[in-house]
Structure 1
Amino acid sequence: MYKIVWFGTLNKSIGYIGKKKTRLLSPCEKICLNTARKTVQRCDKNYSPPKLSRIKNFYTYSIVLGSLFGMVMWAIYKLGKPEEDHRGPIEDEFSQLPWFRQYIMRMWHTLQYYEKMMEEPQMAKLLPNVVPPPYIQPPYSLVLEIKDVLVHPDWTYQTGWRFKKRPGVDYFLQQCSRNFEIVIYTSEQGMTAFPLLDALDPYGYISYRLVRGATDLVEGQHTKNLDYLNRDLSRVIVVDCDPYTTPMHPDNSLVLTKWLGNDDDVQLFDLTAFLQLVAEHQVNDVREVLRYYRQFEDPIEQFKDNQRRLQEQNQESIQNLPTSERQWNLTLLGRSLRGSSIK
C-alpha cells in the first residue's frame, strides 16, 4: 500500500513513501505533476512563490522609505541652507553650531516664519490711505461678509454646489455705494470669492476685496482685525452673520440672522434703510448706534419696530427740540422727534 506525501511546496521533489521503502517518481509521473502544478498556479492569480513575495515587499518598502528619507533631507537642505550673497554664505545666529544642527535650526526657524505668515495678515494696511480732496471719499466704510449675507451656498444632485443670490443685492449695493465705501472682507478663499464677486457686482459698486489671506487665524477661527483696515473705526460698520469674526471690535459689528436661501427674504431692503438713515443724520460715531442694536437677537427687526413706534410718537408735538447733535440718536433708537424726515 503506497500513499503520496507532499514535501513543502509543489516545486520541491515529491516521492512515494511507504513504511519500509521509498522510490522516486518516474519521468512520466513528474511531467504529470508539473502539469498539475502549472494548472493550479494559473487558476490562482495571486499565487507567487514565498521567496519572490518577500523580495517584492522588500523593494516596495525600500522605495517608500527611501523616498520619504530623500524628501526630508531635501527639505532640511532647502529650508536650512544659509543665505548667500556675492561673497558667499552669510553668517547668522546658527553659524557656530555643528553643520547638521545648523540646517535643522534654520529649517525650524523658517517653518515658524511661514506659520506666522499664515496666521497674520499679509500687510499692516489692508486698504490704501484715504484719498485727499478734491477727490471724493465716502464718509463711511461698509465691511461685508459674502456667505449667508449676500449669497447662500446651495447644493443639488443635478448641479452640485452653486451660490444663490440674495433678493435685493443689486439694490443694496447701488444705494449703499452713494454714502459708503463698500469693502468685502470674507474668510472665503480668493479662488472662490473673486469669480463670485465678478458675477455679483458687474457695475463695480464694491471698492475693495479682502479674502482669507487678510484674516487672523486665532484658535482655528478666521477673525477680522479692523485695526489693519487703515480707516477711522468710528465710521466703520461691519455686517456679518457670525458674531465671533470681529472679537476685538464687537461695537463695530451689526450681526444679522443667517440667510438660508428663502426667496421671500427682504432683510437687505431693511438694512439699506438703516444705513441710509445713518448717513443722512451724519452720525459721528457709528459704534454708539451699533452698540445699542447689539443687544437684540435680530437688530434689523428691532430697527423696524423702532421706526413703527416713531411714526406713532411723531403724531404728538414736542415743545422743546433737542440739540442737532442728538437728533440722529433719537431717530435711530426709535424715539420721538418733531419735524423728523423719517416717516
Structure 2
Amino acid sequence: MDECLIHSQFFGGKEYRQLESRPDLLTSTSSSPSSPSEEKRVDHFDLELPDGDVVRVNKRPGLDAFLKSVSSQFEVHVFTAAMSVYASPVLDVLDPSGSMFSQRYYREMCVYDESLNVYVKDLANLDLGHPMGRVVLVDNNPMSFLSQPSNGILVSNFYDDPEDATLGAVEGVLERIEGEEDVRGTLDNMFGLRDALRDVRENGPRR
C-alpha cells in the first residue's frame, strides 16, 4: 500500500508504517492539512484517523482507474506492513463500496525478520484459495518478497510525482501473464528477484 499505491504524510508524531527512508514532503508543501500547496498536483485526500491523528494521502496517478480495472479482472487483496488503525481507514476511502478488495491483511499478518529488521509478506500465511503459481504480489519494497520472490512484481517508490506511470505498466504485466498456468517463471525472468534476494539472505542487504 504505502509508496506502492499511495504515499501518506502525517501531521502528528506517530508512525504507523514500516520503518523506511522517506522524504519529509510536508516541509516543502504544507504545514497543515487545510492549506495544500498550489504546486501539489497529485490527487490527494486528508483523513482523520480513529486515534485523532491527521494524514494527507497522495494517490499514485491513475490509482482509481487501476483499481477499478484490475478488480474487474482479478481477485484483489491488499497486504500491507502498516498498522490497521491507519491502513484500514485509508482503504475505506479507496474502496468506499467494499467491492474492490476481496481481503485486507495488515502488519499482524506479516513475518518480522529480526536479522533484516523488516516485515516480510509471506503469501503462504494467507488463506488465498489459489495455487501459488497464480498469485502475484505487487510491492515497492524488495524485502517484502523474501518468502516468495518468484511471485513478485517490483515497482518504484511513489511519493508525489504527478508524471508517474507505474500503474499502467503493472496492468500491462498482469495482462501479459493472465493466461499463464504458473506466472513464476515469467516473473523470475522479468524481475530477477529470486537471485537478488538469495544474495540478501546470504550476505545481508547492500548499503
Interval of TM-score (by shorter of Structure 1 and Structure 2): 0.5 to 0.7
Report the Cα offset of residue 218 of structure 1: 1.3
* Aligned twin of 1:3: none
Of 183, 188, 192, 1:291 maps to: 188
Residue 270, structure 1, aligned to residue 125, structure 2: no
* Aligned twin of 1:17: none
Of 115, 118, 121, 1:224 maps to: 121
| Aligned 8 A contact 1:223 1:246 in 2 | yes
| Aligned 8 A contact 1:215 1:224 in 2 | yes
Q: Distance in 2 between matches of 1:214 and 1:272?
A: 26
* Aligned twin of 1:173: 67
| Aligned 8 A contact 1:176 1:276 in 2 | no
* Aligned twin of 2:45: none
* Aligned twin of 2:86: 192
* Aligned twin of 1:206: 101
| Aligned 8 A contact 1:254 1:294 in 2 | yes
Instruction: Name which structure has the greater RCO, CA cutoff 8 Å, separation 6+.
Output: 2
Q: In the TM superposition, what are the counterparts of 1:39-54 in structure 2 within 5 Å?
A: none
The TM-score, its normalising length taken from structure 2, stands at 0.67
| Aligned 8 A contact 2:6 2:159 in 1 | no
Q: Distance in 2 between matches of 1:254 and 1:167?
A: 18
* Aligned twin of 1:158: 32
Q: Distance in 2 between matches of 1:267 and 1:198?
A: 23
Q: Distance in 1 between matches of 2:123 and 2:89?
A: 25
> For structure 2, which runs of at least 5 residues remain unmatched after alignment?
10-25, 34-53, 194-207
| Aligned 8 A contact 1:186 1:211 in 2 | yes
Q: In the TM superposition, what are the counterparts of 1:260-339 in structure 2 within 5 Å?
A: 260-279=159-178, 282-295=179-192
Q: Distance in 2 between matches of 1:295 and 1:225?
A: 18
Q: Deviations over 1:210-256 (max 9, x none)?
A: 00011111113211111112331100100001111121211111111
| Aligned 8 A contact 2:58 2:159 in 1 | no
Report the Cα offset of residue 179 of structure 1: 2.5
| Aligned 8 A contact 1:254 1:290 in 2 | yes
> For structure 1, which runs of at least 5 residues remain unmatched after alignment?
1-145, 297-343
Secondary structure at the residue paired with 1:245? helix
Aligned-residue RMSD, C-alpha = 1.6
The TM-score, its normalising length taken from structure 1, stands at 0.42
* Aligned twin of 1:48: none
Between the aligned residues of both structures, percent identity stands at 28
Secondary structure at the residue paired with 1:178? helix
